A and B are shown apart, each in its own frame.
Chain A
């Protein structure tokens, strides 16, 4: 079965650089979520989209922005990167017949040097 795809899987950036993470949800899923998991931490909700519109915001810094495109893929844009942004970033999708479950991607590991 198709799963959530995230790219890249690993990313290394310098402080103050920008990064773009991409997420391709499971086909026919209408909701996408982004979560951030710092070292030794639990996943924290950042932002979500339902039918290409932002549906909720969590603890997402103002330096971050995200959008969902017409093909339902989503991108998380991160600017002025800080050391503390080093984390695993998970995308999850929900919809179709499995609307009670969120299906998570493998994550993107971002390292800021």
Chain B
């Protein structure tokens, strides 16, 4: 799986958009970008994933650059409950039987400030 690089920490004012970057310059053509977050000591939570098109769901938006070497997770209106460690994970997508385990890197600790 491709290696990712994320900032160690970021702050965001409550109600503002949080933009979390991720570099994955060695990503392969069949690898997806996944985002998970972990609120203090809870189990990690899936947020969103994408291959090359921008994606949006009820939690966030994912913007992937055209060369796919980097991406940005956007939380449009951050709340205090969004304070968490955010993990950008690159791996092959599901294609049948197999493990598809997640390899967690260091992640970005996002602090949402009142």
Q: Please, how many angstroms separate the alpha-carbon atoms of A42 and B36 in the complex?
A: 12
In the complex, identify which listed stretch (B17-25, B64-72, B92-100) lies at the interface while the others stay far away. Answer: B92-100
Provide the A42-60 mask, 1 if CB < 8 A to any CB of B, else 0: 1111001011000110100
In the complex, identify which listed stretch (A12-20, A63-71, A74-82, A87-95) lies at the interface while the others stay far away. Answer: A87-95
Distance (Å) between the CB of B37 and the closest chain A CB? 11
A43 touches B42 (CB 8 A): no
Number of interface residues of B (CB under 8 A): 26
Residue in A closest to B85 when the chains form the complex, CB atoms: A42
Count contacts between A and B, CB distance < 8 Å.
62
Chain B, interface SS category? loop
A55 touches B44 (CB 8 A): no
Q: Does A24 contact B (CB under 8 A)?
A: no
Residue in A closest to B41 when the chains form the complex, CB atoms: A88
Q: Is the interface on chain A under 10, 10 to 19, 20 to 34, or 35 or more residues?
A: 20 to 34
Q: Does A31 contact B (CB under 8 A)?
A: yes
Residue in B closest to A109 when the chains form the complex, CB atoms: B41
Q: Does A27 contact B (CB under 8 A)?
A: no
Chain A, interface SS category? strand
A50 touches B46 (CB 8 A): no
Q: Per a CB cutoff under 8 Å, which of A44, A58, A94, A109 touches B100?
A: A94
- Chain A residues, Cβ within 8 Å of B43: 4, 90, 92, 104-107
B32, B87, B101, B107: most-surrounded residue (chain A CB, <10 A): B101
Q: Does B105 contact A (CB under 8 A)?
A: yes
- Chain A residues, Cβ within 8 Å of B28: none
A102 touches B102 (CB 8 A): yes
A99 touches B94 (CB 8 A): yes
Distance (Å) between the CB of A9 and the closest chain B CB? 11
**Known: A51-B97, A99-B94, A100-B49. Contact between A45 and B102, CB under 8 A?**
yes
Interface residues of A (CB under 8 A from B): 4, 31, 33, 35, 42-45, 48, 50-51, 55-56, 58, 88, 90, 92, 94, 99-107, 109
